[in-house]
Amino acid sequence: MDIFGYGVANKSKSGEILDVHFSSIFFGNKKIELPKYKINSDSKQIIELNWNQKNLEMPIENVIDSYFKLHLLSNKFVLPNTINLDGLFSSLPNVAWTNIGPVSIAEIEDNLNLAKYESRDFYIKSLDKFPCLTDYIVPKKVRIADSRRVRLGAYLGEGTTVMHEGFVNFNAGTLGKAMIEGRISAGVIIGNNSDMGGGSSTMGTLSGGNENVISVGENCLLGANSGTGISLGNNCIVEAGLYITAGTKITRINNNKDEKVLKAIELSGESNLIYIRDSVSGKVIAKNNEKRSSLNETLHKND
pLDDT digits (tens, 9 = 90+) for 122-131: 999 999 999 9
What CATH number is attached to the domain comprising 209? Answer: 2.160.10.10
Q: Where are the alpha helices (DSSP H) in the chain?
A: 53-57, 63-74, 88-91, 108-118
* Catalytic site residue from 181, 218, 239, 266: 181
Please state the φ and ψ torsions of residue 149, each to the nearest 5 degrees.
Answer: -100, 10
Residues 6+ apart with CB under 8 A from 109: none
Q: What gap in Å lies between CA 116 and CA 299, rounded to an integer? A: 43
- Whether residue 293 has pLDDT greater than 80: no
Q: Tell me the average pLDDT across 87-109.
A: 96
* Residues 17 and 68 placed together within one structural domain of the fold: yes
pLDDT bin (cut points 50, 70, 90) of residue 300 is low
Chain centre to alpha carbon of residue 269: 20
143 with 55, same domain: the answer is no
- 295 and 173 housed in the same domain: yes
- Total structural domains within the chain: 3
Q: Which range is least confidently modeled, 166-170, 244-248, 288-292?
A: 288-292
- Asked if residue 268 is part of any domain, the answer here is no
Q: Is residue 271 part of a domain?
A: no
Predicted model pTM? 0.93
Based on the domain organization, do 161 and 122 belong to the same domain?
A: no
Does the annotation count 165 as an active-site position?
A: no
Q: What's the CATH number where 7 sits? A: 3.30.70.2010
Q: What is the pLDDT of residue 241?
A: 96
The residue-averaged pLDDT of 3-21 equals: 97
- Report whether pLDDT(59) > 90: yes
Provide the pLDDT for residue 258.
73
Do residues 137 and 77 both lie within one domain? no
Residues 73 and 221 grouped into a single domain: no
39 and 163 in a single domain? The answer is no
User: Is it the case that residue 286 has pLDDT exceeding 70?
Assistant: yes
Report which residue type is found at 152.
Answer: L
Q: Is residue 167 domain-shared with residue 239, that is, in the same domain?
A: yes
Q: What is the CA radius of gyration of the chain?
A: 22
Do the domain assignments include residue 277?
no
Q: When comparing pLDDT for 254 and 191, which is higher?
A: 191
Structural domain boundaries, residue 76: 3-88
* Res. 254 pLDDT band, cuts 50 70 90: confident
**pLDDT mean over 151-176:** 97
pLDDT tens digits, 207-253: 554 567 899 999 999 999 999 999 999 999 999 999 999 999 999 99
Whether residues 138 and 124 fall in one domain: no
Which residues neighbour 82 within 8 Å (Cβ) at sequence distance 6 or greater? none
pLDDT at 43 over 60: yes
The sign of the CA dihedral 84, 156, 136, 152 is negative
Let me know if residue 203 belongs to a domain: yes
